[in-house]
Structure 1
Amino acid sequence: MASDESYTTEEIAKLLKISKLTVYDLIKKGELPSYRVGKQMRIDAADLDAYKQRAKGIAFAERPLPAAEAAPPPAFAARPAGARPLVITGQDVSLDILAKHLEQRLPESRPLRAHVGSMDSLIAMYKGEADIVSTHLLEGETGRYNLPYIRKLLVGASYLVVHLLARKAGLYVARGNPLGLRGWVDLGRPGLRLVNRERGSGARVLLDEQLLLRGMKPGRLLGYDLVRTNHLGVAAEVAAGGADVGVGSEKAASLVEGVDFIPLIDEQYDLVVLKHAASRVWIPELLGILRSDAFKRELQAIAGYDLSRTGEVLHET
């Protein structure tokens, strides 16, 4: 392994056959030394090799182990304060803006973005692998967003739920809507080709809840198992003619040529933060950013966001 070679977090995940969130967790615990090149985290080949040797239980003379190599922390364990990464999960561009503001307000922190869906984000938080989680999960029977899922997954945890923004969700259709689709019930049309999101994503939960409310069986939808892992991928599949319809947010439709958007629901997009000794250092800064004019001005420049409740604490245990 060349000593001057380095890898991105995505490459490390593929090499070790683990998730990108697990790579971030190894970085957070200091088991994988990393450094920043622009906005990208890099891990030197020598440090990766040292980690692998330690994992095998083999002494590695050139890079001795720390005096007290801690075991992986249990769920909800407090993270040490200092210059360790803050992992922010979710796919909306507002989170990239949030990460930039956090880096400016907390120069000792290193915000890292993990582009994963809502349910996987909450599971990662339960495992102690994420610090700021975004979620937009609808409970169809009550029409409530996020809290029902958060309470089930973070049982026994101390956490804060803060509103980030509201946005439109609905259907992606081909330009001009040649099939004349208007609502959820139209998804039951024979021969209509769907492109779906992965299980656990907010869009997939939204679709499943709407089908359940209307007594429609997912297995009868042509293309229900055709999966793309982000809103842009779903919109692009519709634009390319690989599917007739997909579910997602309004923003992606504006970025993909050949797609129209049919708004059907106002989606609530919230942030979840665990409360512990380390996070109490930066939670006030996070709330300050969310409520600041500077942050809201940047979001206002992006069409389709409702910021009337941004920064509002919705629930605190």
Structure 2
Amino acid sequence: MTEEQSYTTEEISKLLKISKLTVYDLIKKGDLVAYRVGKQMRIDATDLEAYKRRSKQLQLPGGQRPALSHPSGAVSVAETRESGNAAAAHLSDNSAPLSRPTSEASHVVPGDSPIAHAARHVVITGQDVSLDILMRHMEKQTRDIRPLRSFMGSLDGLISMYRGESDLVSTHLLDGDTGEYNLPYIRKILIGWSYVVVNLLSRPAGLYVGRGNPRGLQGWADLNQPDLRLANREKGSGARVLLDEQLRLHGIPSSRLVGYNMEETSHMGVAAKVSSGEADVGIGIEKAARLVGQVDFIPLTQERYDLVMLKKPGNEAWTDSVLRILQSSEFRQELQAFEGYDVSRTGEILYEI
């Protein structure tokens, strides 16, 4: 084994026989040293061996294995989350890697690690470009935090927050019975936690259809058309919840939609399926339709895209910083550059407990 050899997170999960989510958690907590090349996280063979040696040194008599400890005294919970709860069943090993928005490889080494500089990782879930802008502002304003991205859907993000695996969650989940976004889900999932919900933006959501709208789709009720081919999103995403709620409210069985069980993991992926003619319709946001091209967009709702941050000891400094960023004119001006983004409530605290 040489110093030049390195592994992807997927290879590490196979070597250690653990899920990729656990690998990302080890990286997040500093137990496993990693660096980023482009969009891919890498772990050197020497760092993997060092992690294994530390694990063996911490092995207790009788086979009991403790959580790994950081030099600062913070304890990793990576190995204590296996039991979980019923809601955790929604989480998937297919979640994208945690990453920082930089084009250069940023190697985290023992002498220059976030721990050495008392910096902490802040895991942000979601896919919207507004989160990239937020992360850039966070990195610029303080050296005490290192924002990481996890590209999971809204519902999975809330569940990961409940489990202590995410720090800042973006969510756009419609409750069909009340017409309210996000708060009904947040209240049910984050039981026992203190948190604050703040608006990031609002944006149009609706139907992707082929150019000229050949099936003549105008509203949710039109999804009852026979032999309609759907490009669907993955379970746990806001777009999937929006679709399922509208099908329920309009009494349309999901089995009526051809391709309902075939899932794409992004708005762009859904729009591309419609653009190529592989699907007649998809659910998503307007921005993806413009980026993909050759697809029309039918707006049906204005969805509220909110952020959730936990209120707990040690979080005050970075949560206050995020609120200042969201409420700044500079941040709002950057968001306004994207057509369709409504920033009239950006930075407004919607709920706090």
TM-score computed with the length of structure 2 as normaliser: 0.80
1:43 corresponds in structure 2 to 43
1:6 corresponds in structure 2 to 6
Query: 1:177-229 CA deviation, whole Å, 9 max, x = no partner?
Result: 11111111111100110111111110000001001111111122211111101
Query: 1:39-65 CA deviation, whole Å, 9 max, x = no partner?
Result: 865432221233345556788xxxx98
Query: 1:231-262 CA deviation, whole Å, 9 max, x = no partner?
Result: 10101111111111000011111110211111
1:189 to 225, 229, 237: 225
Match status 1:145 vs 2:150: no
- What is the aligned length? 309
Q: Measure the CA separation in 1 of the matches of 2:287 and 2:16.
A: 34
Q: 1:243 to 1:306 in 2, by over 3 A?
A: same
Deviation of the 1:85 alpha carbon:
1.6
Match status 1:267 vs 2:267: no
One-letter amino acid of the counterpart of residue 70, structure 1: V
SS of the aligned residue for 1:242 comes to: coil
Query: 1:26-85 CA deviation, whole Å, 9 max, x = no partner?
Result: 1232211234557865432221233345556788xxxx986768351789xxxx993122
Deviation of the 1:266 alpha carbon:
0.4
2:350 corresponds in structure 1 to 314
SS of the aligned residue for 1:314 comes to: strand
Q: 1:280 to 1:190 in 2, by over 3 A?
A: same
Q: Measure the CA separation in 1 of the matches of 2:6 and 2:53.
A: 17
Q: Measure the CA separation in 2 of the matches of 1:279 and 1:172.
A: 40
Match status 1:129 vs 2:170: no
Indicate if the aligned counterparts of 2:69 and 2:76 stay in contact, CA closer than 8 A.
Answer: no
TM-score computed with the length of structure 1 as normaliser: 0.89
Indicate if the aligned counterparts of 2:227 and 2:256 stay in contact, CA closer than 8 A.
Answer: no
Matches within 5 A, 1:1-317: 1-7=1-7, 9=9, 12=12, 21-35=21-35, 42-52=42-52, 54-55=54-55, 70-72=75-77, 82-317=118-353
Indicate if the aligned counterparts of 1:198 and 1:228 stay in contact, CA closer than 8 A.
Answer: yes
Query: 1:68-112 CA deviation, whole Å, 9 max, x = no partner?
Result: 68351789xxxx993122111001110011111100011232111
SS of the aligned residue for 2:209 comes to: strand
2:94 corresponds in structure 1 to none
Q: Which has the higher contact order (CA 8 A, sep 6+)?
A: 1
Q: 1:180 to 1:310 in 2, by over 3 A?
A: same
Q: Measure the CA separation in 1 of the matches of 2:270 and 2:13.
A: 24
Q: 1:13 to 1:164 in 2, by over 3 A?
A: farther
Deviation of the 1:114 alpha carbon:
1.0
Q: 1:13 to 1:100 in 2, by over 3 A?
A: farther
Q: 1:27 to 1:262 in 2, by over 3 A?
A: same
Deviation of the 1:11 alpha carbon:
5.9
Runs (5+) with no aligned partner, structure 2:
60-67, 82-114
Indicate if the aligned counterparts of 1:22 and 1:129 stay in contact, CA closer than 8 A.
Answer: no
One-letter amino acid of the counterpart of residue 47, structure 1: D
Runs (5+) with no aligned partner, structure 1:
none
- Cα RMSD, aligned residues only: 2.6
Q: Measure the CA separation in 2 of the matches of 1:116 and 1:15.
A: 24
SS of the aligned residue for 2:206 comes to: strand
Q: 1:65 to 1:225 in 2, by over 3 A?
A: closer
